[in-house]
């Protein structure tokens, strides 16, 4: 009988690991959703109705041999997982890949929102934006800036204001990348207000057309017809809070060793946003970590000692499109040192399709 691998969380890392091990082990992928969400395309999906369904890839076509169980895991022990509702799934190897939560529209409203409902929410948001003449975006991280870029491309005359307490955009990236980003934001007439925040949150629901005025902590008044929150990612590790398997870090992440095992367990792995690694919480790194878990589980399956070690990233990389025509990037250059990516590369590698083609491939059965 094949060994059983339970992969908890069907995001960037979890689906990669489940697909790779499918057939070599009895794979069970567990997720409350019915579809993988390529969150890289969420912002365009909230703005353009023709994109509303594109972030979602049904789990139906991921595995040829294994199965997908729809539901949330509520507890984990080294022999298996407990499901909401009390069911239990036993496993020889367990991969925890439950990622993070984020405010809507960066991610669907609830953890178990179906792809159909999530697409309808995005279409409704686009309609709310269509009625608006001005938008306030809270947060100047990549998510907030991308949203500003998408809105500008769809509505050239919309007044766009971004407010954030940080002193600059993209801290930690090359000065020339940040200068170019600031230049493009100015060209796009996106009013970026840093070093400030709102004295109190807008008095109306986010993502809905409803005019309001707010005051910043530096005393400025900002009026807008709609607003979005684009900060506040949180690791999805509530199911480990009982401390039975492991004590979470202060950041609510999972301590792992250099094989990506949850510390103290050679059959339980943690990967992606929940792993307590110095890597930025990005899909890029979740998918760079995943092969270490795949290789180490393969060694277990062959009866060998897992030896693959993960070295966290030492350089920052990013592709940040501002709509389909703008954006900046930082990637390793020929010598491996970080370099500013030309606009054409940002558009070709991400801006055009926001990685949709890549996931269409992952979610297609190889034998069909
Ligand atoms: C708007 C936006 C755009 C982004 N764009 C980029 C980008 O362009 N490039 C990049 O590198 N990074 C990007 N990121 C960051 C990236 O999305 C995350 O780093 C990435 O999703 C982490 O992948 P993961 O595999 O750890 O988990 P996730 O992809 O978050 O997947 C976790 C899965 O676990 C499931 N889950 C949660 N709790 C449970 C539970 N209790 N039981 C079972 N399943 C559970 C969830 O439903 C989800 O399907 C973006 C983030 C946002 C919000």
Contact 51, 353 (CB under 8 A): no
One domain for residues 91 and 121: no
Q: Are residues 205 and 276 in the same domain?
A: no
User: Which residue's C-alpha comes closest to atom 31 of ligand 1?
Assistant: 11
Mutate to test the pocket of ligand 1, among 236, 248, 270 (most ligand atoms within 8 A of CB): 236
Closest atom, ligand 1, to C-alpha of 354: 8
* Residues 252 and 327 placed together within one structural domain of the fold: no
Query: Which pLDDT does position 314 carry in this prediction?
Result: 87
Residue appearing with tokens 């020339």: 176
Cα of 101 to ligand 1 centre, how many Å? 7
Q: Is 228 in the pocket of ligand 1 (CB under 6 A)?
A: no
Looking at the fold, whether 214 and 181 belong to one and the same domain comes out as yes
Could you list the residue range(s) of the whole structural domain that residue 283 is in? 4-32+71-102+233-313
**How is the beta sheet containing 134-138 ordered, strand by strand?**
190-193, 159-163, 134-138, 226-229
Residues of the chain with pLDDT under 70: 1, 367-368
Tell me the pLDDT tens digit for each residue of 250-289. 999 999 999 999 999 999 999 999 999 999 999 999 999 9
Ligand 1 center to 189 CA (angstroms): 30
Atom of ligand 1 nearest to the CA of 355: 8
In this structure, the answer to whether residues 195 and 326 fall within a common structural domain is yes
Q: Extract the tokens encoding 138.
A: 């809270």
User: Based on the domain organization, do 210 and 255 belong to the same domain?
Assistant: no
Are both 200 and 222 inside the same structural domain?
yes
CA 234 – ligand 1 centroid, Å: 10
Same domain, 325 and 186: yes
CB 346 less than 6 A from any atom of ligand 1 = no
- pLDDT at position 1 is 67
pLDDT score recorded for residue 223: 97
Shared domain for 158 and 264, answered yes or no, is no
The pLDDT value recorded for residue 367 is 66
191 lies in the same domain as 243: no
Confirm or reject: Cβ of 236 under 6 Å from ligand 1.
yes
- Structure tokens, 48: 């353009």
Give the integer Cα–Cα distance in Å for 106 and 98: 16
Pocket test for ligand 1, best of 81, 102, 109, 273 (most atoms within 8 A of CB): 273
258 in a structural domain: yes
102 lines ligand 1 (CB under 6 A): yes
User: What is the 56 CA–ligand 1 centroid distance (Å)?
Assistant: 13
Residue 45 lies in a domain: no
DSSP sequence for 187-223: HTTEEEE-S--BSS--SS-TTS---EEEEBTTS-EEE
Pocket lining: 283 vs ligand 1, CB cutoff 6 Å = yes
- Protein residue closest via CA to atom 21 of ligand 1: 283
> Quick check: 52 and 31 in contact, CB under 8 A?
no
In a domain, 366, yes or no: no
Give the distance from CA 175 to its chain's centroid: 25
How far apart are alpha carbons 201 and 232 in whole angstroms?
14
Pocket test for ligand 1, best of 56, 75, 100 (most atoms within 8 A of CB): 100
pLDDT at 334: 85
CA dihedral 12→14→16→18, nearest 10 degrees, is: -160
- Decide whether any atom of ligand 1 lies within 6 Å of the 121 Cβ: no
Residue 39 lies in a domain: no
Ligand 1 centre from 92 Cα, in Å? 25
State the pLDDT at residue 212. Answer: 98
For position 349, which CATH number holds? 3.50.50.60
Whether 261 and 299 share a structural domain: yes
- 367 domain residue, yes or no: no
11 lines ligand 1 (CB under 6 A): yes
Alpha helix (H) ranges present in the chain? 12-21, 42-47, 115-130, 142-154, 175-187, 283-301, 343-346, 356-362
- How many independent structural domains does the chain possess? 2
pLDDT digits over 24-77, tens only? 999 999 999 999 999 999 999 999 999 999 999 999 999 999 999 999 999 999
Domain contains 46? no
Residues 221 and 323 in one domain: yes
* Residue 106 in contact with ligand 1 by CB distance below 6 A: yes
Cβ atoms 107, 48 nearer than 8 A: no
Q: How far is CA 86 from CA 83, 113, 163, 200, 357, in A?
A: 5, 21, 44, 41, 38
For residue 182, is it within any domain? yes
Distance 253 CA to ligand 1 centre (A): 14
Does 47 fall in a domain?
A: no
């Amino acid at each position: 009988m094949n060994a059983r691998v339970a992969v908890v969380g069907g995001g960037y890392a979890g689906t990669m690991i489940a697909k790779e091990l499918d057939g070599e082990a009895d794979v069970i992928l567990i997720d409350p959703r019915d579809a993988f969400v390529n969150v890289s395309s969420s912002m365009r999906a909230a703005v353009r109705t023709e994109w509303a369904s594109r972030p979602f890839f049904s789990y139906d076509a991921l595995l040829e041999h294994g199965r997908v169980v729809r539901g949330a895991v509520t507890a984990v022990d080294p022999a298996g997982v407990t499901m909401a509702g009390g069911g239990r799934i036993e496993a020889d190897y367990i991969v925890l890949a439950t990622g993070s939560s984020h405010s809507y529209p960066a991610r669907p409203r609830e953890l178990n929102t179906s792809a159909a409902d999530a697409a309808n929410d995005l279409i409704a948001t686009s309609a709310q934006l269509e009625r608006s003449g001005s938008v306030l975006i809270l947060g100047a991280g990549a998510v907030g800036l991308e949203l500003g870029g998408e809105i500008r491309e769809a509505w050239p005359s919309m007044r766009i204001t971004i407010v954030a307490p940080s002193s600059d955009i993209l801290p930690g990236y090359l000065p020339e990348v940040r200068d170019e980003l600031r230049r493009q934001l100015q060209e796009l007439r996106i009013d970026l207000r840093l070093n400030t925040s709102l004295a109190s949150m807008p008095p109306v629901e986010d993502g809905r057309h409803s005019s309001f005025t707010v005051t910043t902590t530096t005393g400025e008044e900002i009026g807008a017809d709609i607003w979005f929150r684009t900060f506040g990612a949180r690791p999805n590790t509530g199911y480990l809070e009982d401390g039975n398997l492991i004590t979470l870090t202060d950041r609510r992440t999972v301590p792992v060793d250099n094989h990506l095992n949850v510390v103290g367990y050679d059959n339980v792995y943690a990967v992606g946003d929940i792993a307590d690694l110095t890597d930025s919480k990005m899909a890029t790194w979740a998918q760079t970590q995943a092969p270490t878990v795949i290789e180490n589980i393969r060694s277990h399956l062959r009866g060998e000692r897992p030896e693959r070690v993960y070295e966290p990233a030492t350089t920052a990389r990013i592709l940040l499109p501002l709509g389909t025509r703008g954006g900046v990037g930082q990637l390793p250059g020929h010598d491996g040192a970080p370099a500013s990516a030309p606009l054409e590369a940002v558009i070709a590698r991400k801006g055009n399709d926001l990685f949709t083609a890549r996931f269409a491939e992952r979610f297609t059965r190889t034998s069909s």
